[in-house]
Amino acid sequence: MNGLFKRRSDRIATALLLPAGALFAAGCVERTLSIQTQPEGARVWLNDDEVGRTPVKVNFTWYGDYDIILRKEGYQTVKTHYVARTPWYQTPGLDLVSECFIPYTVYDEHAVGPIDLQPQQPPDKEVLLNAAEEMRARAE
């Protein structure tokens, strides 16, 4: 009787540990946003956080709206917007399968650019002088 009980308990333990092991071996979804500019080397702010210089690849957690600011010495600042759309396998309900039960990592890559940076133009001297005169007149 003792040998039979031991075998049965082994089967029960195996039946419980296999699904638990499968959960720990499950994959996940890795979300990245790549930003490129022409020329490279622009500083990048993503939702007011500096994340590096282009080309840059950033991990993100949620889908939705992202404000992007690009700055490079000698070039005009670019302010733009990107919407990271939710793929079908990340919709509520289905995301449980893609996050927990697929045994490998799913890569969800989003790309912005390349964004052409325009050289900064020096201000027109006449325009600056007129603006200064208007400010002086308002101050008086």
Q: How many domains does the chain have?
A: 1
Asked whether residue 46 carries a pLDDT value surpassing 70, the answer given is yes
Instruction: Name the residue range of residue 55's domain.
Output: 2-139
**Cα–Cα distance between 73 and 81 in angstroms, integer?**
21
The per-residue pLDDT for 126 is 86
Q: pTM of the predicted model, to two decimals? A: 0.64
pLDDT, tens only, 23-41: 555 567 788 999 999 999 9
Tokens matching residue 30: 């890795």
pLDDT, tens only, 58-117: 998 888 899 999 999 999 999 999 988 888 777 787 677 667 766 777 787 888 889 899
Q: Contact at 8 Å (CB) between 127 and 119? A: no
